[in-house]
């Protein structure tokens, strides 16, 4: 069981494309069972997200900007506002 979990973590942390890993990380940070279609504010900066994913801040900025243009989220100072959980989940599935 532990080996399977470790391999799943490696797959998620290394082998998946960055937009998919970032989408999953945002969903994980917002993993509340009562999350609805409302706006969720995450106190996570682009630097924090980059550190979590092991990439540069600029690499995280690109997909966040694209998703901001699509209306999925808003990026502020040390904050990411997630607009629609259902849309984020669809984005996470199609980002790969």
- Residue 3 included in any domain: no
- Sequence-distant (6+) residues with CB within 8 A of 71 are 83
- Secondary structure class of 84 (helix, strand, coil): coil
- Secondary structure class of 48 (helix, strand, coil): helix
- Residue 57 included in any domain: yes
When divided into structural domains, the chain yields a total of 1
Torsion of CA 52, 54, 58, 61, to 10 degrees: -40
pLDDT tens, per residue, the chain with 96 residues: 999 988 887 877 778 899 988 988 888 887 554 455 567 888 899 999 999 988 999 999 999 999 999 888 899 999 998 886 666 666 666 655
How many C-beta neighbours within 10 Å does residue 78 have? 12
The domain in which residue 74 lies consists of 17-94
- Residue 42 included in any domain: yes
pTM over 0.75: no
Q: Locate 18 and state its tokens.
A: 């960055």
- Sequence-distant (6+) residues with CB within 8 A of 77 are 45
- Residue 5 included in any domain: no
Residue 64's CATH number: 1.10.10.10
- Residue 90 included in any domain: yes
- Residue 8 included in any domain: no
Asked whether the beta carbons of 46 and 57 are under 8 A apart, the reply is yes
- Residue 7 included in any domain: no
């Amino acid at each position: 069981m532990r080996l399977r979990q470790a391999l799943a973590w490696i797959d998620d942390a290394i082998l998946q494309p960055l937009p998919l890993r970032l989408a999953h990380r945002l969903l994980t940070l917002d993993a509340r069972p009562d999350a609805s279609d409302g706006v969720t504010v995450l106190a996570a900066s682009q630097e924090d997200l980059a550190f979590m994913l092991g990439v540069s801040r600029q690499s995280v900025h690109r997909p966040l900007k694209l998703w901001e243009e699509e209306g999925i989220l808003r990026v502020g100072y040390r904050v990411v506002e997630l607009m629609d959980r259902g849309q984020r989940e669809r984005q996470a599935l199609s980002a790969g």
